[in-house]
Amino acid sequence: MKAIALISGGLDSILAARIIKEQGIGVLPLNFKIPFCQRKKQASQDNDINSLVKRSLGQELKVVDISSEFLELVLKPRHGFGSNMNPCIDCKIFMLKKAKELLRFFDAQFVVTGEVLGQRPMSQHRRALDTIEKESGLDGLLLRPLCAGVLAETRPEKEGWVKRDRLFKFSGRSRRPQMDLAREFSIDNYPNASGGCLLTDPRFSNKLRDLISHQALNLEDVGLLKIGRHFRLSEKAKLIVGRNEEEDRELELSARGNDYIFMPNPELAGPTCLGRGEFDNDLIQLSLQITCHYCDLNTTKSARLIYYRAGISPREESSWEVSPLPEDKLKLFRL
């Protein structure tokens, strides 16, 4: 007997997997990688999840990348969005459908998740849990060990694969029962419950809405939403301003085809900016003024900045003397 345990990176999914493992059932810890994880933390987060899984379950985490297919979900989720661009119900249904497809591949019989009745307002109330199970097609093969005691019996319980009296009855917003159980299992150093999904972040959601309303959604542009300051210049042009050397480098490397790069001259400290879309002379000047706003001008009132088109080789640089765009005008363009 084996279960696929969906691991989100938070404590609850780890506990759910451990409860099943404690009953002597094989558990395959599985994490679905989506394109909306916080970028800066991604590497360390991956390590954290890996090490948490290893410490808590004594196993390696299996990661399955579902990024491309996941993008579709934020366009028009059937069950709508949470308070930001998070389509949590559709997201869970999608992941469970994927898990169901993998049952046979991993020679597993059911799926385990760390959901707790009433813990989250959008996706963990009773009707949402029922909808998620029904639409996932798992048909009795979805077990939620943390709150199974307050839900209808599932097939693993009815068939005697797992003992219902060794499952839990957690419900409500309190995290105390999970923290107590973690202590019982000697699980420590777990991340807080907020998770790392950028779709719940209002500022990221705003940038994503802008992207969706102006162009086709793709993984590369979603990746760029995670870095820099974003400005919508026109229906067909946007500018991304690097916030540090690492982002500057990344923006320069991401530039392609018709993209523009705007930057200070070598004597001036300031950001590298990526312009994507259609630029005429007015938009080039506006982009240089925004770039200039973030340059270190000291006492001078203007500076000569450089720009070039990424797709032209060898590089043809031009320059323009501009003054910085004042803050009140800048905020009209900022996303």
Least distance between ligand SF4 and beta carbon 197 (Å): 3
Least distance between ligand SF4 and beta carbon 180 (Å): 24
Backbone angles phi, psi at 32, to 5 degrees: -90, 125
Instruction: Select from 87, 171, 197, 86 the least CA-distant residue to 131.
Output: 87
Query: What's the gap between Cα 213 and its chain centre?
Result: 19
- Taking CB under 6 A as the criterion, the residue among 199, 224, 263, 292 binding ligand SF4 is 199
Query: 50-68: b or e for each residue (b if 16 or more CB lie within 10 Å)?
Result: bebbeebbeeebeeeeeee
Q: Which of 250, 266, 217 is nearest to 240 (CA)?
A: 250
- The secondary structure of 271-334, three-state, reads CCEEEEECCCHHHHHHHHHHHHHCCCCCCCCCEEEEEEECCCCCCCCEEEEECCCCHHHHHHHE
**CB closer to ligand SF4, 92 vs 100:** 92
Nearest to 109 by CA among 189, 227, 3: 3
CB of 204 to ligand SF4, least distance (A): 11
Q: Which one-letter amino acid corresponds to residue 68?
A: S
Q: Binding to ligand SF4 by residue 200, rule CB under 6 A?
A: yes
Interface mask (CB under 6 A) for ligand SF4, residues 146-185, using x and -?
----------------------------------------
Minimum CB distance to ligand SF4 smaller for 88 or for 274: 88
Given 9, 29, 87, 242, the residue binding ligand SF4 (CB under 6 A):
87
Q: At 116, which amino acid appears?
A: V
Closest contact distance (angstroms) between CB of 183 and ligand SF4 is 25
**Shortest distance, CB of residue 233 to ligand SF4, whole angstroms?**
30
Which of 57, 146, 147, 197: binder of ligand SF4 (CB under 6 A)? 197
Q: Which is nearer to ligand SF4, 196 or 228 (CB)?
A: 196
Regarding 114 and contact with ligand SF4 (CB under 6 A), the answer is no
Residue of 18, 92, 98, 144 that binds ligand SF4 (CB under 6 A): 92
Whole-number minimum distance, CB 69 to ligand SF4, in Å? 13
Exactly one of 31, 56, 86, 171 binds ligand SF4 (CB under 6 A); which one?
86
Closer residue to ligand SF4 in complex, CB, 32/231: 32
**Which pair of structure tokens corresponds to residue 181?**
């159980």
Q: Does 99 bind ligand SF4 (CB under 6 A)?
A: no
Separation between Cα atoms, residue 156 and residue 164, nearest integer Å: 9
The two three-digit tokens of residue 316, written as one number:
């043809």
Question: Which bin fits 325, alpha (ψ -120 to 50), beta or left (φ > 0)?
Answer: beta
- Number of chain positions touching ligand SF4 (CB under 6 A): 9
Q: Binding mask 42-81 vs ligand SF4 (x if CB under 6 A, - otherwise)?
A: ----------------------------------------
Per-residue binding letters, 240-279, with ligand SF4 (x by CB under 6 A)? ----------------------------------------
* Cα angle, residue 81 at apex, residues 220 and 332 outer, rounded to 5°: 60
H/E segment holding residue 164: none
Interface residues toward ligand SF4, by CB under 6 A: 86-88, 91-92, 195, 197, 199-200
